[in-house]
Amino acid sequence: MSAPGTAEPRTATMSTVGRAVAWRSIHNFLTNPAFLIPSLLFPLFFFVSFAGGLAAIGEVPGFDFPSGYTAFQFVFVLLQSAAFGGVFTGFAMARDFETGFGRRYMLAASHRSGIVLGYGLAALFRAFVTWTVLTAVALIAGMDVGGSAGEIVALYALAILVNVAATMWAAGVALRVRSIQGGPLMQFPTFLILFLAPVYVPLDLLTGWIHTVASINPVTALLEAGRGFISGDPVLVGLAFAIGIALSLLFAFWARGGLRSAEAAG
Amino acid sequence: MSGSLRTQVGQLAHRSILRTLRQPAQIVPSLVFPLFLLAVNAGGLKDATNLPGFPTDSYITFILAVPFIQGALFSVMNSGTDLARDIETGFLNRLALTPLRGAALLSGLLAGAFVLGVVQAIVYLSVGLLAGADLAAGVGGALVIVLLSVSITVAFGTIGLFAALRFGSGEAVQGLFPVFFVFLFLSAMALPLDLLTTDWFHTIASINPVTYLLQAFRSLLIEGWNVGDLALGFGIAAAIGTLGMLAASSALKTRLVRT
């Protein structure tokens, strides 16, 4: 209890901490071309090279995606940019801890989970910026969208789940390693799991070891559901959302463990 | 080459080679990353061989050309980052106080890229052949593939040297990596030029020199001996190397004047 006449110091709530951390991270993202440009260019570059350079794959016997190869690749690049938006935010987090700014966050924040929340909000913002540009380019390039408005919303909802899961994964690594040297550890597994899914052709057309790996890769269900949404023929919807939510929760626990590790390190 | 210049190049080459071999962080990614993409692309794009006009029925034979170029891209990073570190730590300033010639410095620094190029070429080719790729040109073709791969790796290494001397920062050199990947992805990397059905992409790939570097490897792997494709591949590598060396020499002069 405070003494009479003495004001109780105001304690920041988790959302206040989250908003403050997010604001700084978003400000850094928008004002530093070294962060902004790769975030926008990488997905566009993948989209252009896959949808443009591999268009003939759409004519392979057995490839019967109704919305065409551009839409087929758009879904992969959308989910990839969602994942890498999270990974790039993990880089920012690691850099903040390496330079000592993260420790100042830890000292100042009354609810330290708010720090992770803030970076998560910033990651979502980054992803929204990228998706806006990517979607505009895809539509200008003549992408055929067969899905209804609700199905397109569901596609972006899936992408949000991927972004959250990837951010929590990267945050867990960043908080444990607390150095940008942990970058490859955030990036490589993400890259690996994405490219071991049916990236270029549907699962049915894959053969051999890659078919086996892709069949058990959780990203496959996310991709197939996303492609179903954009073509107006939803498949694996329940499974994809269950996987998205489960991965987000799993990696949120992983990030919480990282936070405890950072707290213990002082 | 005079005895003095030979000694200078030898000393720097020895240092460059040791430095490369002592840094697993330079060697491992340049071997693992291209091989991972080789495995993924070979599995994922196998059906492309069903397209009318595809030059072979083995996609891994077709895509095996790509790791050689990806490996060469790593040499931009490795040679550039090493030199940038010398600049950042002041080692280049100390070298500038010696009677060392600029040509010796640049040639010596490429020795690490040369050794890495040989290791990469042998590993990529061996893995590819073990995975079932064909080599139409036989044993002689394997030697030419290694030679071509090393030529391209060293040529790309000169660009890394130029970037390091021009910007003086390892971070700036690292920033070039995605730029060079654009050249690879906007080439006939995954499909032959004739099967690039998107007009604008076909146009870009047609004027992209990486397409012809890939074609030189593919001629040996798929067709056998095609002198025209090989001459074009070696010619492009020589042109990139010459331009890179000229640019690096000019940047070295500027940097030493600044120093």
Lookup result for tokens 């992770």: A116
What is the mean predicted confidence (pLDDT) over A97-121? 87
Contact between A233 and A144 (Cβ < 8 Å)? no
pLDDT of residue A10: 59
Q: Do A208 and B46 touch (CB under 8 A)?
A: yes
pLDDT in tens, B164-186: 898 887 767 776 776 777 788 88
> What pTM did the predictor assign?
0.81
In this structure, what token pair is assigned to residue A149? 């408005």
pLDDT of residue A124: 95
- Rounded Cα gap, residues B83 and B77, in angstroms: 10
Q: Do B44 and A198 touch (CB under 8 A)?
A: yes
- Rounded Cα gap, residues B234 and B164, in angstroms: 25
Q: Do B40 and A210 touch (CB under 8 A)?
A: yes
pLDDT in tens, B48-100: 898 888 999 999 999 999 999 999 988 888 888 888 888 888 888 887 787 77
Q: Which domain holds residue B113?
A: 3-258
Say whether pLDDT at A55 is over 80. yes
Lookup result for tokens 């990030």: A255
Q: What are A's interface residues with B at a Cβ cutoff of 8 A? A: 34, 38, 41-42, 45-46, 48-49, 51-57, 59-63, 184, 192, 195-196, 198-201, 205-211
Sort out which chain B residues have CB atoms less than 8 A from A209's CB and list them.
43
- Rounded Cα gap, residues A8 and A141, in angstroms: 59
pLDDT in tens, B243-258: 999 999 999 888 876 5
Rounded (10°) angle between helices B138-167 and B111-130: 140
Sort out which chain A residues have CB atoms less than 8 A from B37's CB and list them.
195
Picking from A41, A45, A56, the nearest residue to B191 by CB comes out as: A56
**What backbone torsions phi and psi does residue B110 show, to the nearest 5 degrees?**
-85, -5
pLDDT in tens, A63-82: 888 899 999 999 999 999 99
Q: Which parts of B45-137 fold into alpha helices (H)?
A: 59-63, 65-89, 91-96, 102-109, 111-130
- Rounded Cα gap, residues B30 and B177, in angstroms: 12
Picking from A49, A57, A195, the nearest residue to B185 by CB comes out as: A49
How many CB pairs below 8 Å do chains A and B form together? Answer: 84
Q: Does B38 touch chain A (CB under 8 A)?
A: no
pLDDT of residue A143: 92
pLDDT of residue A2: 46
Q: Where are the domains of chain A?
A: 14-265
Say whether pLDDT at A4 is over 60. no
**Closest among A16, A176, A163 to A80, alpha carbons compared:** A163
Q: Do B43 and A34 touch (CB under 8 A)?
A: no
**Exposed, middle or buried by CB within 10 Å (0-12, 13-18, 19+), for A7?**
exposed
Domains in chain B, number: 1
- Rounded Cα gap, residues B14 and B86, in angstroms: 15
**Exposed, middle or buried by CB within 10 Å (0-12, 13-18, 19+), for A44?**
middle
Say whether pLDDT at B218 is over 80. yes
pLDDT in tens, B101-152: 777 788 888 888 888 889 999 999 999 999 999 999 999 999 999 999 999 9
Lookup result for tokens 């790791």: B67
Exposure string for A153-190, b = 16+ CB within 10 A, e = fewer: ebbbebbbbbbbbbbbbbbbbbbbbbebebbebbbeeb
Q: Does B186 touch chain A (CB under 8 A)?
A: yes
Sort out which chain A residues have CB atoms less than 8 A from B214's CB and list them.
none
pLDDT in tens, B20-31: 777 776 678 788
Say whether pLDDT at B33 is over 60. yes
- Rounded Cα gap, residues A142 and A47, in angstroms: 13
Picking from B43, B175, B190, the nearest residue to A54 by CB comes out as: B190
**Closest among B245, B91, B115 to B168, alpha carbons compared:** B91
Say whether pLDDT at A8 is over 70. no
In this structure, what token pair is assigned to residue A132? 């806006």
- How remote is the C-alpha of B202 from its chain's centroid? 23
- Rounded Cα gap, residues B55 and B49, in angstroms: 8
- How remote is the C-alpha of B88 from its chain's centroid? 25
How many angstroms separate the first and last alpha carbons of chain A?
29
In this structure, what token pair is assigned to residue B109? 């620094």
ipTM for this model? 0.71
What is the mean predicted confidence (pLDDT) over A18-44? 85
